[in-house]
Structure 1
Amino acid sequence: MKKILLILSLLLIFAFNSKAQDNASLPTQYQKMMEKILGNVPKVASSTATQVLDFAKSLIGVPYRYATSNPEKGFDCSGFVSYVFSNFGFKVPRSSSEFASAGVPVKLADAKVGDVLIFTGTNPRVRQIGHVGIIYSIENGDIKFIHSTSGKAHGVTVTEFNDYYKSRFMKAVSIVE
């Protein structure tokens, strides 16, 4: 990451100090290089989103427990997401279905670390909200999210946004703006 920032900084310095006629634009070869570099920089909503995510990470391993939002006993999915955001003063719903009207809707392609992903329940054919998680990372277009699952991990864990979850995906919302 430091190398990327160093290269990006050097390219920007070159762009502004160039003696070429058009200082406002980089030569094509450098534009392509910058696009490649910027495409690999993780998207993050804000420093608040980073703090929210760091707090969420500290809860990895807390067991799954239906209808619970207490780290000493466990979390269900919405209890986990609600608990995390509430600790930063955000008013968020307690049930996964209510997240459909929470925050600001965002396209998945524009979603950032810290945004909330909303899914169906375990049956993707039943298009009814039943699960939520928080985007953990986005690198090279690959999304991972943190959530409390009743599945194999049976608790707070980080999961890839794989084909199974893509089939269950309903929408993304930004709580932290």
Structure 2
Amino acid sequence: MKNSAFQLRNSTNWLLMLCIAFTAVQCKTAKNTSKTPTLKPDSREMAFRRDVVAYAARFKGSNYLYAGKNPNTGFDCSGFTSYVFSNFDIKLSPASREQEKQGKPKNIRDAQPGDLIFFRRKASDPIFHVSLVKSNDGKSLWVIHSTTSRGVIEEDVLNSTYWKQYIDSVRDVISK
């Protein structure tokens, strides 16, 4: 009797160890079968920002038109940014002076793709221009904007003798 009780206890322990080992192996070898990679919130936002910039870049070469708000007739600066963001369900005023009040303020060195750069001639003057950030490495600040003389273009405003002097503020209209 003692012998069979000992055998039963050993068999139970053996079976318990086998179950634990099997479960551990199953947990370790389980794979994520999702086709879509899980993105961190920051990388989702950066992907969204890249999409905004890529969409804006599609309109390079579009004509300038005062108060213009679409690619068929042309854009002014704020009509361009408003049009681009409307494609992503972000509603911006069609006036640069009002856009400058939307979103969150940022330091220029922290400007990211998709942020808006605003320009002012003097501190007492109203905002007169807006552009959309394409890239910022601290040495150059590439934007896409609609200019009166050249229409929608890409330009490095930090290395522009004209634009650099008028940079006033940066707004983030993407981050929540």
Shared fold, TM over 0.5: yes
Distance (whole Å) between structure 2 residues aligned to residue 148 and residue 142 of structure 1: 19
User: Quick one: higher RCO (CA 8 Å, sep 6+), 1 or 2?
Assistant: 1
Map 1:1-177; keep pairs closer than 5 Å. Answer: 46-120=46-120, 124-125=121-122, 127-151=125-149, 153=150, 155-161=151-157, 162-177=160-175
> For the aligned residues, what is the CA RMSD?
1.6
1:52-71 per-residue CA deviation (whole Å, 9 max, x = no partner) reads 00000000001000011011
Higher alpha-carbon Rg:
2
The Cα of 1:127 is off from its aligned counterpart by: 2.7
1:37-76 per-residue CA deviation (whole Å, 9 max, x = no partner) reads xxxxxxxx61111100000000000100001101100000
TM-score by length of 2: 0.69
Identity within the alignment, %: 34
Amino acid at match of 2:69: S
Q: Secondary structure at the match of 2:93?
A: coil
TM-score by length of 1: 0.69
The Cα of 1:165 is off from its aligned counterpart by: 1.4
Deviates more, 1:125-134 or 1:68-77: 125-134
Distance (whole Å) between structure 2 residues aligned to residue 93 and residue 46 of structure 1: 24
The Cα of 1:140 is off from its aligned counterpart by: 5.0
Contact kept, 8 Å, 2:119 with 2:130, in 1: the verdict is yes
The Cα of 1:93 is off from its aligned counterpart by: 1.1
Distance (whole Å) between structure 2 residues aligned to residue 141 and residue 174 of structure 1: 20
Distance (whole Å) between structure 1 residues aligned to residue 152 and residue 127 of structure 2: 19
Equivalent residue pairs, number: 129
Q: Which residue of 1 aligns with 2:4?
A: none
User: Which ranges in structure 1 are unaligned for 5 or more consecutive residues?
Assistant: 1-44
